[in-house]
């Protein structure tokens, strides 16, 4: 099984957590912190790309889906444009929505460097500020795990369905941790990339992961929630999607009960 933490990459190694949050850095006033940080990703916007540098296996997959759709493509949780920029570079229009202004700032900078234009909008997965109807909505790299209840997931799926043309596709990937992965990583600092550390605290009962990431360029803690594959399927069907494919990896191999699932669904 490929190693795929959030982000996933080559196997992380146990390590020291590095400097504590405020060491060696100017302190930010409490009020300013609350006022300016609206997403846990804001604090790691500059760290995100080095943190996810080894995550490359999904890019060709989403690009292929984008080409198949003809575009435009709506990416929910666009982040720093890891997927959106290669799609736009292929000549396909991309609307990217994200709740983190910090991530969108990095994304805009990266897009300019790559010489592509992205239509970036601050917004929520459950209520994307998008009036257009598109043939493809994507939500790569487990962004749906940021939704914690079935109510939130169904709200998000309904919003996606409303923004798809008839027969349009919704393509995403998620993960469901295995007992072995939980036992191996629980509550341990692991060095994901040089000087970038993460610690996963799993709650199998609640099916939640509290993930802390720390590097020289930032630190954050975020809460994620997972579901077994059959529950994702039931929610999708309830929300008016037909599951065309559920792959176990981005090479389109069949899902065989592993941790990753890659979904190609169609608006019914």
CB of 24 to ligand SAM, least distance (A): 26
For the beta carbon of residue 137, count every other beta carbon within 10 angstroms: 27
By CB under 6 A, name the one of 4, 5, 12, 41 that touches ligand SAM.
41
By CB under 6 A, name the one of 88, 94, 125, 227 that touches ligand SAM.
125
Piece of 142-150, 157-165, 233-241, 247-255 that binds ligand SAM (CB under 6 A): 142-150
CB nearer to ligand SAM: pick between 4 and 82: 82
Contact 198, 192 (CB under 8 A): yes
Q: Estimate the crossing angle of helix 229-238 against helix 150-163, to 10 degrees.
A: 50
Piece of 96-104, 113-121, 198-206, 225-233 that binds ligand SAM (CB under 6 A): 96-104
CB nearer to ligand SAM: pick between 33 and 268: 33
Is 72 a binder of ligand SAM (CB under 6 A)? no
Contact 42, 102 (CB under 8 A): yes
For the beta carbon of residue 25, count every other beta carbon within 10 angstroms: 12
Is 94 a binder of ligand SAM (CB under 6 A)? no
CB of 105 to ligand SAM, least distance (A): 11
β-partners of residue 264 are 171, 245
Rounded to whole angstroms, the Cα distance separating 260 from 175 reads 4
By CB under 6 A, name the one of 72, 85, 106, 143 that touches ligand SAM.
143
Phi-psi group of 115: left, alpha or beta (phi > 0 → left; psi -120 to 50 → alpha; rest → beta): left
DSSP 139-178: E-TTGGGG--SHHHHHHHHHHHHHHEEEEEEEEEEEE---
CA distances in angstroms from 85 to 77, 80, 234, listed in the order given = 13, 9, 32
CB of 111 to ligand SAM, least distance (A): 13
Query: Which positions from 145 through 204 interact with ligand SAM, judged by CB under 6 A?
Result: 146
CB nearer to ligand SAM: pick between 120 and 164: 120
List residues binding ligand SAM (CB under 6 A). 39, 41, 52, 77-79, 82-83, 98-100, 103, 124-125, 140-143, 146
């Amino acid at each position: 099984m490929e190693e795929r933490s959030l982000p996933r990459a080559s196997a992380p190694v146990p390590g020291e957590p590095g400097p504590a949050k405020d060491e060696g850095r100017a302190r930010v006033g409490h009020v300013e912190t609350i006022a300016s940080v609206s997403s846990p990703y804001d604090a790691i916007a500059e760290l995100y790309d080095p943190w996810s540098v080894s995550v490359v296996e999904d890019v060709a997959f989403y690009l292929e889906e984008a080409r198949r759709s003809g575009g435009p493509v709506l990416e929910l949780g666009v982040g720093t444009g890891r997927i959106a920029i290669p799609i736009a570079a292929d000549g396909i229009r991309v609307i990217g929505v994200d709740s983190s202004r910090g991530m969108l700032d990095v994304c805009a900078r990266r897009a300019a460097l790559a010489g592509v234009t992205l239509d970036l909008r601050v917004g929520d997965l459950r209520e994307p500020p998008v009036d257009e109807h598109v043939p493809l909505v994507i939500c790569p790299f487990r962004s749906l795990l940021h939704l914690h209840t079935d109510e939130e997931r169904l709200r998000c799926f309904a919003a996606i369905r409303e923004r798809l043309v008839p027969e349009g596709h919704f393509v995403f990937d998620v993960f469901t941790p295995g007992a072995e992965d939980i036992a191996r990583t629980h509550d341990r600092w692991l060095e994901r990339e040089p000087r970038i550390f993460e610690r996963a605290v799993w709650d199998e009962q609640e099916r939640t992961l509290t993930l802390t990431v720390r590097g020289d360029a930032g630190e954050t803690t975020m809460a994620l929630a997972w579901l077994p594959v059959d529950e994702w399927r039931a929610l999708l069907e309830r929300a008016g999607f037909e599951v065309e494919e559920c792959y176990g990896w981005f090479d389109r191999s069949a899902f065989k009960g592993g941790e990753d699932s890659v979904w190609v669904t169609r608006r019914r």
